[in-house]
Amino acid sequence: MPDDLAPRIAVIGGGQLARMMAEPAAALGIPLRLLAEAAGVSAAQVIVDHEVGDHTVLADLERITVGCAAVTFDHEHVPTEHLRALEASGIAVRPGPDALVHAQDKGVMRAALARLGVPCPRNALVTDLAAVEAFGFPCVVKTTRGGYDGRGVWFLRSSADLDRAAEAFATAEANGVEILAEELVDFRRELSALVARSPSGQVAAWPVVASEQRDGVCREVIAPAPDLAEPLAIQAQQIAMRLAGELGVTGVLAVELFETNDGRVLVNELAMRPHNTGHWTQDGAITSQFENHLRAVLDLPLGAPDARAPWTVMVNILGGSDGTARLYDGYPHAMARDPRLRVHLYGKAMRPGRKVGHVNAYGDDLDDCLMRARHAAAWFAGDLGEESE
Ligand code: ADP
């Protein structure tokens, strides 16, 4: 490796989020070094300077961060004690362990939101089935740690569903985590307020978006959220900016919210890294979430988060169940049909339900953007037959 011309950032975890950090890193001339969980994973295909290692092993984290100015993450699974050890060794850990715990542990997050008076669903930590009954139905029970994409979340309509809570407790016990009960929110839709915050305290807030989740997995994002009342949009952004400051977040913070049918916003959860609901920013905003994340990690001035077009639609490409997916094979048709479409693939093999890429379509007409992005994502996933063309 040549001598660094700019500070080097270590990235822990080789998924698509790390992969997509590589693009602005290249443009800005910022060298990245990756700790990948296995050879050939998504980010290891594009970040030349990488090693395979285990993010739960301190020696692996120390090896990868030697000579780096800062360390950041593709996921939230690095143990807190390791983050503290890295900090003690003098490397800037961004986000730091005291902030990150709020994205790692839903119990800690709920307690902090209550302390700060931020609106969220009624909730309580529960230790047995009787406590779930006492909490009341309908409710949602969740593991406090380790859940993602809907894993670790159970919905209970009535006491007839208590066997689901029993499953939740068994999962929690097996993993040494706790169970949080929450009221089942009857929401109009899910929103996401995305901000980036630098250690100096500068904050950039992207427009609030609407996200559609199916089976706990993000499918589609519309930026900005259509017909969102301005006071609610401002409130959502203010919640995200305030949380970023109060919790000491450095880098991107995604605040997932429920918009209720009676016109309130409630915080569902926090993520402290670039987030699926921010992928639209790659093509639809002046500065993408990946670029501002890197700028924030190095405490550089942040780029403008303004939208480039009235509407941007992001649709995820998910592996289908029938194995008919056509990723690269889908390029000739997708590119010929829509030269304005932006395609992002992650270098991942298709598996049912796995996120393997996304498309962004932006323009003046929301219906047109929706139609183009949905068509392309369905085409890549193999959900459209040749005859439908
Ligand atoms: P994960 O860590 O898997 O993202 P979440 O806590 O975000 O878990 O829950 C996944 C999905 O479950 C949410 O996107 C939402 O659709 C639904 N959900 C979670 N909590 C509630 C709740 N209190 N009321 C209604 N739906 C919920």
Q: Mind listing the pLDDT tens digit for each residue in 237-273?
A: 999 999 999 999 999 999 999 999 999 999 999 999 9
Under 8 Å between Cβ of 109 and 95: no
**Nearest atom (ligand 1) to Cα of 151:** 3
Confidence class of residue 174 from pLDDT cuts 50, 70 and 90? Answer: very high
Distance (angstroms) between ligand 1 centre and the Cα of 135 equals 18
* Residues 9/49, Cβ–Cβ less than 8 Å: no
Please compute the mean of the pLDDT values over residues 339-343 and round it to a whole number: 98
54 class by beta-carbon count within 10 Å (0-12 exposed, 13-18 middle, 19+ buried): exposed
CA of 32 from ligand 1 middle (Å) equals 33
User: What percent of the chain has pLDDT above 90?
Assistant: 90
Residues 6+ apart with CB under 8 A from 8: 30, 31, 32, 33, 67, 68, 69
Residue 387 pLDDT > 50: no
Token duo for residue 262: 């009676």
State the DSSP H helix or E strand holding residue 25, giving kind and residue range, or none if neither.
helix 16-28
Residue at token pair 């500065």: 287
Q: Which residue has the tokens 């902030």?
A: 99
Q: Tokens 């169940």 sit at which residue? A: 321
What is the pLDDT confidence band of residue 383, given thresholds at 50, 70 and 90?
Answer: confident
Ligand 1 neighbourhood includes 149 CB (under 6 angstroms): yes
Q: Which residues pair with 251 in a beta bridge?
A: 197
What the block records as the tokens of 213 is: 């989740």
* Residue-level pLDDT at 386: 57
- Assign 3-state DSSP to the chain and report helix, strand, coil percentages, each to 5: 35, 25, 40
Distance 311 CA to ligand 1 centre (A): 26
Query: What value does the mean pLDDT take over residues 315-322?
Result: 84
Q: d(Cα 107, Cα 198) in Å, to the nearest integer?
A: 26
At 106, the amino acid letter reads K
For ligand 1, atom 22, name the residue with the nearest CA. 184
CB burial class (10 A; 0-12, 13-18, 19+) of residue 119?
middle
Summarize pLDDT for 18-59 with one digit per residue, the tens.
Answer: 999 999 999 999 999 999 999 999 999 999 999 999 999 999
First-to-last alpha carbon distance for the chain, in angstroms, is: 49
C-beta 201 within 6 A of ligand 1? no
Q: Are 245 and 389 in contact (CB under 8 A)?
A: no
Amino acid type, 256? E
DSSP 145: S
pTM for this prediction? 0.96
Regarding the beta carbon of 142 and ligand 1, being less than 6 Å apart is answered yes
6 residue type, one letter: A
Bridge-based pairing of strands 32-36 and 9-12 is: parallel
Enumerate domains of the chain plus CATH numbers. 9-93 (3.40.50.20), 122-183 (3.30.1490.20), 187-388 (3.30.470.20)
| Residue 249: φ, ψ to 5° | -75, 140
**Closest CA to ligand 1's atom 12:** 216
Contacts 24+ apart (CB under 8 A), 146-150: 146/175, 146/177, 147/106, 149/216, 149/217, 150/213, 150/215, 150/216, 150/217
Question: What is the torsional sign of CA 205, 266, 113, 111?
Answer: negative
pLDDT of residue 389: 47
In 3-state terms, what secondary structure has residue 278?
Answer: helix
For the Cβ of 153 lying below 6 angstroms from any atom of ligand 1, the answer is: yes
Q: Decide if 181 contacts 197 (C-beta within 8 A).
A: no
Q: What b/e readout covers 84-102, taking b as 16+ CB neighbours within 10 angstroms?
A: ebbeeeebbbbbbbebbbb
Tell me, rounded to whole angstroms, the distance of Cα 110 from its chain centroid: 18
CA 183 to ligand 1 centroid distance, Å:
11
179-183, strands of its sheet edge to edge: 123-126, 179-183, 139-143, 153-156
Measured distance CA(366)–CA(370) in Å, rounded: 6
